[in-house]
């Protein structure tokens, strides 16, 4: 057999990919991480999703943690860079989240990946795969000026979009499989505000009403949306611009990006004109790209079901905990929540991170197996660190054992690495 370049190749550098790469490296694997942007972090750094959800159970007077391991390493690194990383209790939803600063996150993840010896490739996109039946033999990685053909014992698809599974000819479901894709959101960041300004929800609701008289594209979130200050700055972060997506075509993405930017500009003008304290506001950033909640789901050996989530199903083959409630955005601006029963979390089983029909391909983050409703819970970033770590270690085991992964061995290794099961 020809020499392999790596034990594990991870495609995608979001929470799932970082969890997988560091998780596999901690288990002793030689790991490559391939990321199409110039920085890791995924949606947190490429789409301004500036809060980690899924580290803690819903509700309660104090935060109960459900994800540790690599996820905790990331929080510790952020603290070293001066972020508080303390659980923040959202008064509107009852959820506990961790607030982020994207620049510190990029740097912190760079440092953490380097400290664990991960071979990071940025501006590098997985564009092809060499699959023979149930085995992936290699991937094609394209940069600006070179095309690499890399091989590993096992692979992790952490691209959010099933980009690796797709080029490996894996069956994929788009959205809920019936033509509905969770709505997209363009997060907005405004500067020029006094740190002492109290943001009043009724004023933000009134601004949305005024906006709807000015813009050809309406805002459907009438509750004032989700907002907070960006951790460590006086900037105001707002999730208010949602767009329905009919499909995954270039035309639809272009229309969504362009209309969301037009909306951001009208919103800036509306805030300046009508909300006290926003007279000198400016738009610090949209994007870099619109926030994509959902695209493709590759075929997994098991799909976590709606009933698994609602009952808080515990399992002998569980390899990660998931504790974020179901949060579905089937219609733009109208999120629907359902809560986890039992002990406040459910187990992600090993088969949900394993590709159907491919023995050495694993899933991490939002591409793990989940039905259309369970997906509203499994997709968040805290959970993605946990499924990522499990996928990375499982991939390392599969690389050593010709595709075989024994749940108990995986669980023991994850616990030894500090993960919660
Ligand atoms: C508007 C919005 C708000 C949200 N709010 C929250 C929230 O507050 N908290 C929370 O925890 N979650 C939130 N989510 C969900 C969460 O952001 C995602 O589900 C999560 O980022 C999934 O992590 P991931 O690592 O699987 O994917 P991603 O974060 O999408 O990372 C995938 C990575 O793969 C890379 N990639 C893609 N294709 C390729 C390729 N071919 N080759 C190489 N690299 C590739 C991408 O560039 C990206 O860096 C929100 C999502 C959206 C859109």
Give the domain ranges of the chain: 6-177+294-416, 184-286
Q: How far is the CA of 278 from the centre of ligand 1 (A)?
A: 30
**C-alpha–C-alpha distance, residues 410 and 156, integer Å:** 16
**C-alpha–C-alpha distance, residues 139 and 120, integer Å:** 15
Cβ contact 379:16 at 8 Å:
no
322-333 pLDDT, tens digit per residue, is: 999 999 999 888
The number of residues making up the chain comes to 421
Measuring from atom 45 of ligand 1, which residue has the nearest CA? Answer: 12
Closest CA to 403 of 348, 354, 352, 347: 354
Verify cis geometry, omega within 30 degrees of 0, for the bond prior to 288. yes
Closest CA to 353 of 66, 171, 157: 157
Cβ contact 124:143 at 8 Å:
yes
Contacts of residue 145, defined as CB under 8 A and 6 or more positions apart, other chains included, come to: none
Q: What is the mean pLDDT of residues 1-25?
A: 95
- Is 184-286 in the same CATH topology as 6-177+294-416? no
Cβ contact 390:410 at 8 Å:
yes
The span from the first CA to the last CA of the chain, in angstroms, equals 36
Provide the mean pLDDT of the chain.
96
Measuring from atom 18 of ligand 1, which residue has the nearest CA? Answer: 380
**Pocket residue to mutate for ligand 1, from 15, 18, 42, 52, most atoms within 8 A of Cβ:** 42
Q: How far is the CA of 280 from the centre of ligand 1 (A)?
A: 32
Domain 184-286, second-level architecture: 2-Layer Sandwich (3.30)
Contacts of residue 233, defined as CB under 8 A and 6 or more positions apart, other chains included, come to: 101, 191
186-237 pLDDT, tens digit per residue, is: 999 999 999 999 999 999 999 999 999 999 999 999 889 999 999 889 999 9
Indicate if ligand 1 lies below 6 Å from the C-beta of 15: yes
Cβ contact 68:382 at 8 Å:
no
Measuring from atom 29 of ligand 1, which residue has the nearest CA? Answer: 42
**C-alpha–C-alpha distance, residues 15 and 31, integer Å:** 16
Q: What is the mean pLDDT of residues 380-397?
A: 98
Phi and psi at residue 173, in whole multiples of 5°? -100, 135
The CATH number corresponding to 6-177+294-416 among 3.50.50.60, 3.20.20.150, 3.20.20.70, 3.20.20.370 equals 3.50.50.60
Secondary structure E strands in 164-210: 172-174, 184-191
Indicate if ligand 1 lies below 6 Å from the C-beta of 298: no
Indicate if ligand 1 lies below 6 Å from the C-beta of 35: yes
284-331 pLDDT, tens digit per residue, is: 999 899 999 999 999 999 999 999 999 999 999 999 999 999 999 998
Indicate if ligand 1 lies below 6 Å from the C-beta of 293: yes
User: Which ranges in 281-418 belong to alpha helices (H)?
Assistant: 306-311, 375-378, 381-400, 407-416
Adjacent-strand bridge partners of 241: 186
Q: How far is the CA of 408 from the centre of ligand 1 (A)?
A: 29
Closest CA to 334 of 180, 203, 230: 180
**C-alpha–C-alpha distance, residues 80 and 10, integer Å:** 26
Indicate if ligand 1 lies below 6 Å from the C-beta of 158: yes
Q: Does the pLDDT at position 157 exceed 80?
A: yes
* pLDDT (0 to 100) of residue 333: 86
Q: How far is the CA of 206 from the centre of ligand 1 (A)?
A: 31
Q: Does the pLDDT at position 2 exceed 90?
A: no
pLDDT-based confidence at 1, cuts 50/70/90? low
Cβ contact 141:127 at 8 Å:
yes
Secondary element (H or E) of residue 75: helix 70-80
Considering only residues 254 and 222, tell me which one the structure prediction assigns the higher pLDDT: 254
The pTM of the full predicted model, rounded to 2 decimals, is 0.98
Q: What is the mean pLDDT of residues 356-378?
A: 98
Contacts of residue 93, defined as CB under 8 A and 6 or more positions apart, other chains included, come to: 337
* pLDDT (0 to 100) of residue 326: 98
């Amino acid at each position: 057999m020809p020499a392999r370049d790596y034990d594990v190749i991870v495609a995608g550098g979001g929470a799932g990919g970082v969890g997988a790469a560091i998780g596999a490296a901690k288990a002793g694997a030689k790991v490559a991480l391939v990321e199409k942007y110039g920085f890791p972090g995924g949606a947190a750094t490429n789409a301004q999703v500036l809060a980690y959800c899924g580290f803690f159970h819903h509700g309660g007077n104090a935060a109960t943690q459900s994800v540790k391991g690599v996820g905790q390493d990331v929080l510790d690194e952020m603290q070293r860079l001066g972020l508080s990383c303390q659980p923040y209790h959202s008064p509107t939803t009852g959820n506990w989240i961790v607030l982020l600063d994207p620049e510190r996150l990029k740097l912190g993840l760079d440092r953490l990946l380097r400290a664990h010896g991960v071979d990071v490739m940025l501006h590098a996109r997985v564009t092809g795969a060499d699959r023979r039946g149930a085995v992936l033999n290699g991937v094609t990685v394209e940069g600006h000026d070179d095309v690499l053909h890399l091989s590993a014992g096992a692979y992790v698809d952490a691209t959010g979009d099933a980009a690796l599974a797709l080029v490996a000819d894996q069956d994929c479901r788009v959205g809920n499989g019936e033509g509905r894709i969770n709505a997209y959101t363009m997060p907005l960041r405004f500067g020029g505000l006094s740190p002492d300004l109290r943001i009043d929800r009724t004023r933000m609701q009134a601004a949305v009403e005024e906006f709807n008289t000015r813009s050809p594209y309406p805002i459907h979130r009438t509750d004032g949306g989700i907002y907070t200050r960006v951790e460590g700055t006086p900037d105001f972060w707002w999730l208010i611009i949602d767009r329905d997506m009919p499909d995954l075509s270039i035309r639809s993405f272009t229309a969504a990006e362009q209309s969301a930017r037009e909306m951001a500009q009208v919103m800036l003008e509306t805030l300046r004109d009508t909300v006290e304290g926003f007279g000198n506001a400016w738009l610090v950033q949209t994007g870099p790209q619109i926030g994509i909640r959902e695209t493709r789901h590759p075929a997994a050996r098991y799909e976590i079901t709606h009933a698994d989530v609602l009952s808080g199903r515990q399992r002998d083959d569980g390899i990660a905990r998931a504790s974020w409630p179901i949060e579905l955005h089937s219609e733009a601006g109208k999120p629907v929540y359902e809560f986890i029963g039992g002990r406040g979390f459910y187990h992600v089983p090993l088969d949900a991170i394993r590709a159907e029909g491919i023995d050495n391909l694993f899933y991490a983050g939002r591409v793990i197996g989940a039905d259309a409703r369970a997906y509203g819970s499994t997709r968040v970033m805290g959970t993605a660190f946990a499924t990522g770590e499990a996928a990375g270690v499982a991939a390392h085991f599969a690389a050593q054992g010709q595709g075989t992964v024994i749940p108990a061995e995986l669980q023991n290794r994850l616990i030894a690495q500090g993960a919660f099961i």
